[in-house]
Amino acid sequence: GAVVSQHPSWVICKSGTSVKIECRSLDFQATTMFWYRQFPKQSLMLMATSNEGSKATYEQGVEKDKFLINHASLTLSTLTVTSAHPEDSSFYICSATRTRAGNTIYFGEGSWLTVV
Amino acid sequence: DAKTTQPTSMDCAEGRAANLPCNHSTISGNEYVYWYRQIHSQGPQYIIHGLKNNETNEMASLIITEDRKSSTLILPHATLRDTAVYYCIVRMNYGGATNKLIFGTGTLLAVQP
């Protein structure tokens, strides 16, 4: 079964509003989680590293004020897309590491965001 | 940038073995080779990983060359459900920030009936 869960699986929002996506590690603690974005027919692009109890680390070119990341507990990281625009429509995916499984990285099911 | 190169696409007949190559000529001594696959509209799924020895699990086998500059993922009996994009990734295995994966373009494997 899934070891990393995302919610919601898909969401439609109006332009200018904010949307929150959750990423949970099931049955294990993850001090570090990662957020990716994927446009149609493209590969996954790393957006940021979510660190429990501290600020996220963003990849070059990713706006930290637009993509707010909060990692308040060892099993939950959230990505908030603020003031969403149609160009933010994408597939957002998170990942977490299960240390006891030899540092194997597991991915969530992904969240489809459509901004209209 | 991704540190691996893979063919863009491959075809395989159902029931036959699928051999997916990956070149990682700049791999360092403490980096592992990981394989993931992504079925359309889903998150990537872990398949297998290795350091220098060949590995096998219930999903696949991983053959790593002696110089570690390339590897091959083998799906022994491909089914239609194995149609996906397969990603070969190299990374260290120390935890923390080393757990971020940089994805290349991957190989689209199309299993034909």
pLDDT of amino acid A84: 97
- Cis, peptide link before residue B21, omega less than 30° from 0: no
Structure letter (DSSP) for residue B100: -
- Contact by Cβ (8 Å): A97, A32: yes
pLDDT of amino acid A97: 81
- Other beta carbons within 10 angstroms of residue B17's beta carbon come to 12
Does the beta carbon of B53 lie under 8 angstroms from any beta carbon of chain A?
no
Nearest-CB residue to B93 (from A44, A103, A110): A103
Nearest residue of A to residue B103, measured between CA atoms: A44
User: What are residue A43's DSSP bridge partners?
Assistant: none
Q: Which residue in the block uniquely carries the two structure tokens 């500059």?
A: B69
Burial of B45 (0-12, 13-18, 19+ CB in 10 A): middle
- What is the rounded distance in angstroms from the CA atom of residue B86 to the CA atom of residue B104? 10
Please indicate whether, in this complex, the C-beta atoms of A105 and B46 are within 8 angstroms of each other. yes
- Residues contacting B24, CB < 8 A, separation 6+: B3, B4, B5, B33, B68, B69, B70, B71, B88, B90
Q: What is the pLDDT of residues A6-29, one digit of tens each?
A: 999 999 999 999 999 999 999 888
Burial of B6 (0-12, 13-18, 19+ CB in 10 A): buried
Instruction: Name the nearest CA neighbour of A36 among B69, B50, B89, B75.
Output: B89
Nearest-CB residue to B46 (from A106, A108, A109): A106
- What is the rounded distance in angstroms from the CA atom of residue A56 to the CA atom of residue A33? 10
User: How far apart are the CA of A111 and the nearest CA of chain B, in angstroms?
Assistant: 9
- Contact by Cβ (8 Å): B60, B74: yes
Please indicate whether, in this complex, the C-beta atoms of B99 and A46 are within 8 angstroms of each other. no
Nearest-CB residue to A109 (from B43, B96, B105): B43
Q: Which residues of A touch B106 (CB under 8 A)?
A: 43
pLDDT of amino acid B94: 62
Dihedral (CA of B97, A79, A35, A24) sign = positive
pLDDT of amino acid B83: 97
Average pLDDT along chain B, 113 residues, taken 10 residues at a time: 87 97 91 92 92 94 96 97 95 66 91 96
Q: What is the pLDDT of residues A37-93, one digit of tens each?
A: 999 989 999 999 988 888 899 999 999 999 999 998 889 999 999 999 999 999 999
Number of H helices, E strands in chain A: 0, 11
Nearest residue of A to residue B93, measured between CA atoms: A103
Q: Which residues of A touch B43 (CB under 8 A)?
A: 4, 6, 93, 95, 107-110
Structure letter (DSSP) for residue B5: B
Please indicate whether, in this complex, the C-beta atoms of A104 and B49 are within 8 angstroms of each other. yes
The half-sphere exposure of B94 on its side-chain side, counting CA atoms within 13 A, is: 5
Please indicate whether, in this complex, the C-beta atoms of B42 and A104 are within 8 angstroms of each other. no
Of A3 and B92, the structure prediction assigns the larger pLDDT to A3
pLDDT of amino acid B2: 59
Q: Which of A14-18, A96-100, A101-105 has the highest mean pLDDT?
A: A14-18
pLDDT of amino acid B99: 67
For the record, the structure tokens of B19 come out as 């051999």
